[in-house]
């Protein structure tokens, strides 16, 4: 499924942070979003995932096509690793949990409560969720935070397999995930301009100065 973004403006706390964002993500493709802290990467990804409305513009793919991995892993701390994956598989009606356990190197932790996982193990479980959704468009917000080098390499392979199977991935990341052919989109040119420079009312907030300087 294509993910096509056209002339999108997104806001945070009532303030427009990005405007005029457009790109197309085809099956088998990956697009890496870049930009300094505070530019609006998370805000853009949340809007594409359907968690908050865009103020202007169009998003072609329905939220049901999108698997979103946010900063927070969204784990159910009292459930085991396997139970967490079963829960998400049931919610999404996607694939079985065993391949996801194996693929994200979680098999030896299958019966451990999520609350008792390390930060990197929690992150691997959060990413394993992507595999049980069966959804084609992965939207990933800094997915490698807390992962060690081996797990970063592993997750890069998981993404490559997903692309080879016809999926796609939109990724905000500051590190190289080793995905051949991945394109990069720098969000800096889409930063909302202050009103006196022709931007929409409310686009400027003095508090942004530090991040955008
Ligand atoms: N509730 C809010 N009200 C006003 N502004 C907000 C609010 N929440 C976040 N912001 C601002 O919106 C801007 C975009 O934030 P966002 O988290 O999307 O940036 P980001 O590019 O993902 O940053 P990072 O790389 O640090 O994760 C930031 O300047 C942030 O300070």
The string of pLDDT tens digits covering residues 157-167 is 999 999 999 99
pLDDT of 95-133, one tens digit each? Answer: 789 999 999 999 999 999 999 999 999 999 999 999 999
The whole-number pLDDT of residue 203 equals: 42
Instruction: Write down the ipTM of this complex.
Output: 0.94
Structure tokens at 137: 């468009």
Ligand 1 pocket, residue 186 CB under 6 Å: no
Look-up of token digits 């301009």: 193
Cα 178 to ligand 1 centre (Å): 27
Joined together, the tokens standing for residue 67 give 């698997």
Q: How is residue 66 written in tokens?
A: 């999108």
33 DSSP β-pair partners: 172, 185
- Residue among 14, 33, 41, 141 to mutate when testing ligand 1 (max atoms within 8 A of CB): 41
pLDDT of residue 74: 85
Does 25 have pLDDT greater than 70?
yes
Give the chain's domains with CATH numbers: 3-202 (3.40.50.300)
| 3-state secondary structure (DSSP) of residue 61 | coil
Is any ligand 1 atom within 6 A of the Cβ of residue 39? yes
Q: Is 203's C-beta closer than 6 angstroms to any atom of ligand 1? A: no
């Amino acid at each position: 499924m294509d993910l096509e973004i056209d002339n999108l403006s997104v806001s945070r706390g009532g303030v427009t942070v990005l405007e005029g964002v457009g790109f197309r993500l085809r099956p088998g493709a990956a697009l890496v979003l870049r930009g300094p802290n505070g530019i609006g990467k998370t805000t853009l990804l949340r809007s594409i995932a359907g968690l908050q409305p865009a103020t202007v513009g169009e998003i072609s793919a329905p939220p049901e096509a999108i698997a979103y991995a946010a900063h927070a892993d969204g784990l159910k701390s009292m459930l085991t690793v396997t139970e967490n994956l079963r829960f998400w598989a049931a919610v999404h009606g996607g694939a079985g949990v065993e391949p996801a356990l194996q693929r994200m190197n979680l098999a030896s932790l299958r019966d451990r409560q999520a609350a008792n996982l390390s930060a990197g193990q929690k992150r691997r479980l959060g990413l394993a969720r992507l595999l049980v959704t069966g959804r084609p468009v992965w939207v990933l917000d800094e997915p490698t935070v807390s992962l060690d080098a081996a797990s970063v390499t592993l997750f890069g392979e998981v993404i490559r397999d997903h692309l080879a199977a016809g999926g796609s991935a939109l990724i905000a990341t500051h590190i190289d995930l080793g995905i051949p052919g991945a394109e990069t989109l720098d969000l800096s040119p889409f930063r909302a301009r202050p009103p006196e420079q022709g931007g929409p009312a409310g686009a400027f907030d003095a508090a942004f100065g530090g991040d955008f300087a």
